[in-house]
Structure 1
Amino acid sequence: MPPSKNGFTLIEVLFSLTILLIILSLFSPSQIKHLHQFKEKQFLELLEYDVLYIQLRARMYENERILIRFYEDEYRIIRGMNTNQIRPYPKGLSVTTFGRSEIYFNSNGTFIQPRTIRIYGASNSYRLTFPLGKGRFYIEEI
C-alpha cells in the first residue's frame, strides 16, 4: 500500500503561521489602546459600586466605621480596623485626592468631607465629585 499524503508539509505550516503572525502584529497596537480604555471604565465602575456599598453599610450599621482609603497604587475598603478589599489600580492609572485620602459617610448617608478626586489614566482623565450635603457623587471625563 502506498503512503498517504493527507498532511501538510513543514514549509506549508511555517508559511501559514508567518502570515498569521504578520496579521496579528498589525492589529495588536490598536487593540491595546482599547484594552486600556476598557480597564479604566471597569475600574471606575467598580469604584462607583464600592462607594455605594460603603454608603449603604454606613446607613445600615451606625456604629460601624467603613471607608475607602486611597493609596499610591491601590485603594482599600476598610471596615473597623480590618482591610476587607484591596483594589489595585490598572496599569498607567493614578489617583490624586487633594487632601485627606479617605471617603466615608455619616449614618444619614451623606459625605463627611466633600471633595473632588482626580483620576489620570493612560487615555483619559476623570473627576469624581462628592458634593456638600448630598449622598450621591458623579464621575465626569475631563
Structure 2
Amino acid sequence: MTEKWKSAANRGGGLFSAPCRFGGAGFTLLETLIVLFIFGIVTAIAPPALFPLEKKLETVHFLQGMEEDLFRAQQHAINRKVPVAFQYKWRERGYELNAEDGSFFLYRPLPDGVEIEPGNMGDFRFLPNGNISRFGYMYIHAGGRSYRIFFSIGRGRMEVYEDD
C-alpha cells in the first residue's frame, strides 16, 4: 500500500472516505449546536407562515363538503321520489337536510370562523324530480374571504364563486 492509503486507514477513514478535519472525530459540539440552533429557528418561523394556508384549506374542505351534502340530498330526492329540505339553523350555527318521509337526515355544524349569510336561500327543497324549489344566492364568509353559491333554476345546479 502506498503511504497515502496507509495514513488514511490509520486515521479511521476507509478506502473511499475522505480524511476528516479533526482526525476522524466527526463534528464538534459547537458545530452540532449551531446546526440545531438554526434548525430550531427555521421550525419556529415556519408554522405561523402556514396558518393562512390551513384556514384556506379548512374553508375549501367545508365548501366541498357542503356541495357534496347538497348533491347527496338531491340524489336522495330523485331516487326516493320525496322532497328533501335544506334549512339553515343560525342559532345552532349549522345546516340541516331532511327528507319529508324521514328517510334522510343530516346536520352539519359550521367550523369556527365560517359564517353563512343565507340570503333568499335560508330554506329550500329539492323536489322529487331533482329540481330546486327556488333559485338565488347564499353567501359564505370564511378566512377573510367571501364565497357566493348560486343555485340555478332547473335541475338544481349550483356553482361556487369567490367574491373579491
For normalisation by structure 2, the TM-score amounts to 0.67
Instruction: Check if 1:23 corresponds to 2:42.
Output: yes
Extract unaligned runs of 5+ from structure 1: 1-13
5+ residue gaps, structure 2, are 1-32
Aligned 1:1-142 pairs, distance under 5 A = 20-63=39-82, 65-72=83-90, 73-80=93-100, 84-142=105-163
User: In angstroms, what is the RMSD of aligned CA positions?
Assistant: 2.7
Deviation at 1:86, TM superposition (A): 2.2
Q: Is the 8 A contact 1:37 1:123 kept in 2?
A: no
Q: Shift in Å at residue 51 of structure 1?
A: 0.9
Q: Does structure 1 conserve the Cα–Cα contact (< 8 Å) formed by 2:114 and 2:140?
A: yes
1:90 and 1:68 map into 2 onto residues whose CA distance is 18
In the alignment, the residues of structure 1 paired with residue 37 and residue 86 of structure 2 have an alpha-carbon distance, to the nearest angstrom, of 49
Greater Rg over alpha carbons, structure: 2
Do the aligned partners of 1:54 and 1:104 also contact (CA within 8 Å) in 2? no
Runs of 4 or more, structure 1, over 3 Å off, are 14-22, 80-83
Give the count of matched residue pairs: 132
Q: Which amino acid aligns with 1:62?
A: K
In structure 1, distance between residues paired with 2:58 and 2:154? 31
Question: Which range moves more in the overlay, 76-85 or 51-60?
Answer: 76-85
Q: Any conservation in 1 of the 2:135–2:152 contact (CA below 8 Å)? A: yes
The one-letter amino acid paired with 1:61 is R
CA contact (8 A) 1:109 1:135 kept: yes
| SS across alignment from 1:90 | coil
